[in-house]
Amino acid sequence: MADVQRHPCYDELAHEVFARMHVAVAPKCNINCNYCNIKYDCVSESRPGVVSRVLSPEEAYRKVQLTAEVLPQLTVVGIAGPGDPLANPVQTLETFRLLSKGMPDVQLCLSTNGLKLPDYVEEIAGYGIRHVTVTMNAVDPGIGGQIYHSIFYRGKAYRGAAAADILISRQLEGIRLTAAQGIKVKVNSVLIPGVNDRHLLEVTRAAKKAGAFSHNIMPLIISPGSRFEQDGRVPPDPRLTLQVQEDSADLMPVMRHCRQCRADAVGLLGEDRIGEEILTKQTVYSPQERELELVRLDSKLQSRRERRGRSSSGGVVTRIAVATRGGGKVNVHFGHAREFLIYEVDGEASRLLGVRKIQAYCNGTAACGESEPDTILKETVDLLGDCSMLFCSGIGALPRETLRKAEIIAVVTKEEIDTLLLKYGRLLSYFSSGAVH
Residue from 88, 91, 107, 113 touching ligand SF4 (CB under 6 A): that is 113
Contact 230, 34 (CB under 8 A): no
**CA gap 411, 391 in Å, rounded:** 5
Alpha carbon 102 to chain centroid, angstroms: 27
* Shortest distance (Å) from residue 49 CB to ligand SF4: 5
Long-range CB pairs of 286-292, under 8 A, 24+ apart, other chains included: 289/72, 290/68, 290/69, 290/72, 290/105, 291/105
User: Dihedrals φ, ψ of 257, to 5°?
Assistant: -115, 20
Out of ligand SF4, ligand CLF, none, which partner does residue 196 contact, by CB within 5 to 8 A per kind? none
- Residue 437 CB coordination number (10 Å): 3
Q: According to CB under 6 A, which one of 23, 64, 80, 93 is a site residue for ligand CLF? A: 80
Q: Alpha-carbon distance 374 to 372, whole Å?
A: 6
Q: Decide if residue 223 touches ligand CLF (CB under 6 A).
A: no
Per rule CB under 6 A, is residue 49 in the interface with ligand SF4? yes
Q: Interface with ligand SF4 includes 187 (CB under 6 A)?
A: no
Q: What is the largest CA-CA distance in the chain?
A: 73
Q: Is 242 in the site for ligand CLF (CB under 6 A)?
A: no
Q: Examine residue 22 and tell whether it contacts ligand CLF (CB under 6 A).
A: yes
Site membership for ligand CLF, residue 353 (CB under 6 A):
no
Residue from 258, 323, 332, 384 binding ligand CLF (CB under 6 A): 258
Contact flag: residue 189 with ligand CLF (CB under 6 A): no
Q: Which of 33, 106, 191, 352 binds ligand SF4 (CB under 6 A)?
A: 33
Question: Residue 187's beta-bridge partner residues?
Answer: 134, 215
236 binds, among ligand CLF, ligand SF4, none (CB under 5 to 8 A by kind): none
Buried b (16+ CB within 10 A) or exposed e, 329-367: bbbbbbbebbbbbbbbbbbebbebbbbbbbebbbeeeeb
- Nearer to ligand SF4 by Cβ, of 84 and 346: the residue is 84
Cβ atoms of 305 and 13 within 8 Å: the answer is yes
Which of 19, 38, 175, 421 is the binder for ligand SF4 (CB under 6 A)?
Answer: 38
* Residue 15 Cβ vs ligand CLF, minimum distance, rounded to whole Å: 8
Q: Indicate whether 220 belongs to the interface with ligand CLF (CB under 6 A).
A: no
Could you say whether residue 37 binds ligand CLF (CB under 6 A)?
no
- Calpha distance 266→203 (Å, rounded): 30
Query: Does residue 32 interact with ligand SF4 by CB under 6 A?
Result: yes
Burial status of residue 177 (CB atoms within 10 A of its CB: 0-12, 13-18, 19 or more): buried
Q: Which stretch binds ligand CLF (CB under 6 A): 257-265, 295-303, 310-318, 349-357?
A: 257-265
Report d(CA 249, CA 238) in Å as an integer: 16
- For ligand CLF, the closer of residues 6 and 131 by Cβ is 131
Closest C-alpha to 26, from 264, 239, 230, 222: 264
Tell whether residue 137 is a contact of ligand SF4 (CB under 6 A).
Answer: no
Asked if 91 touches ligand SF4 (CB under 6 A), the answer is: no
SS3 272: coil
Q: Which is nearer to ligand CLF, 20 or 199 (CB)?
A: 20
Check residue 264 for interaction with ligand SF4 (CB under 6 A): no
Can you tell me the distance from the alpha carbon of 400 to that of 403, in angstroms, rounded to the nearest whole number? Answer: 5
By CB under 6 A, residue 267 contacts ligand CLF = no
Q: Residue 229 forms beta bridges with which residues?
A: none
Piece in contact with ligand SF4 (CB under 6 A), picked from 26-34, 137-145, 249-257, 418-426: 26-34
Q: Least distance from C-beta 113 to ligand SF4, angstroms?
A: 4
Shortest spacing between CB 258 and ligand CLF, in angstroms: 3
Q: How far is the CB of 7 from ligand CLF (least distance, A)?
A: 7
Cβ neighbours, 10 Å, residue 65: 14
360's CB contacts (< 8 A; 6+ apart) are: 335, 336, 337, 338, 376
- Taking the least distance from each CB to ligand CLF, the nearer of 78 and 219 is 78
Which of 75-83, 288-296, 356-364, 405-413 is the region at the interface with ligand CLF (rule: CB under 6 A)?
75-83
CB 154 within 8 A of CB 173: no
Q: Which does 33 bind (CB under 5 to 8 A by kind): ligand CLF, ligand SF4, none?
A: ligand SF4
Q: Which residues bind ligand CLF (CB under 6 A)?
A: 9, 20, 22, 48, 76, 78, 80, 109, 111, 131, 133, 216, 258-261, 269
